[in-house]
A and B are shown apart, each in its own frame.
Chain A
Amino acid sequence: MTFLWAFVIGGLLCVLAQLTLDLFSLTPAHVLVLFVVLGALFGGVGLYGKLVDFAGAGATVPLPGFGYTLVTGIGEAVKTKGVLGLLTGGLAAAAGGIKSAVLFGLAVALIFKPKT
């Protein structure tokens, strides 16, 4: 069942992004930035967390899930470390993704040659 909701919710988030791109004539980079910020906002008020519980990877794989991870990381870090958690929590929670993106990105960019 989670697979179905992952497909539907993940697909709908992408439709929202596509409509934003087409209707407001933005570049994909603008849409990605917008959706990360939206993920942080909806994560902050607790709505995105509900979507994650419901749709699993359908909500965590699209980029708003990254904003949500940053905010929830801050929330947990503030509980254990106090105010300093506002600065350390976000990146700590997203560290696996960011570091692997840099490492994989660097490796692939060095190994493969661009096609055409």
Chain B
Amino acid sequence: MAKVRKLSPEMKKYQNMAGRLRPGKPIVKNAVAAFFVGGLICSVGQGAQWFFMRHGMTPKEATSPTTVVMIGVGALLTGLGWYDRVVKVGGMGGSLPITGFSNAMVAPAMDSRTEGLVLGVGAKLFTVAGPVLTYGLAAAFVVGLLRYLITGVA
């Protein structure tokens, strides 16, 4: 949190002016773009899941290979430089699906190849995946533990 500071009259004047001139965020436009891009990616995922289900898997069994396919597609499109455009258009619609997670791993790793294979590629693969895994695993542990303590089974 930023500390509230006493502002001199000039600073107040500047802030008022900056507030008026700063372009408003196109919230509605962003949301619509996120809806269509995210929805489209999930439909592609549903297509992959349908393919695996046609080959005799239950919906639950088909989830894991579907995730693998989507991650592969996301990584490949990132390598080709196309996924950045998906994120530019769709915002979180491109970032929230697992393809975007894959993009968030590959893009920094690819950019930092000059820093070496260990501290560049190896470390930067986890720039975003690291925090997601850390807090995802921590949250899942806490939730699982609470359920175990309350119900006896998790």
Contacts and interface: CB of A to CB of B under 8 A. Distances in A.
B66 A75 contact: no
Contacts of A110: 113, 121
Interface string B138-151: 01110111111000
Contacts of A101: 71, 75, 101-102, 105, 129
B110 A108 contact: yes
Interface string B94-134: 01111111101111011101000000010001011101110
Contact of A32 (B43, B79, B128, B143): B128
B20 interface: no
Main SS of chain B's interface residues? helix
Contacts of A11: 34-36, 38-39, 42, 93
B136 A61 contact: no
Contacts, number: 272
Contact of A28 (B47, B92, B99): B92
Interface of B: 25, 27, 30-31, 33-43, 45-50, 59, 63-68, 70-72, 75-76, 78-81, 84, 90-93, 95-102, 104-107, 109-111, 113, 121, 125, 127-129, 131-133, 135-137, 139-141, 143-148, 153-154
Interface of A: 2-3, 6-15, 17-23, 28-29, 31-33, 35-37, 39-41, 43-44, 55-58, 60-63, 65-67, 69-71, 73-75, 77-79, 83, 85-87, 89-91, 96-98, 100-102, 104-115
11 contacts: A8-B39, A11-B34, A14-B92, A60-B67, A62-B38, A63-B98, A66-B101, A71-B143, A104-B75, A104-B106, A112-B80
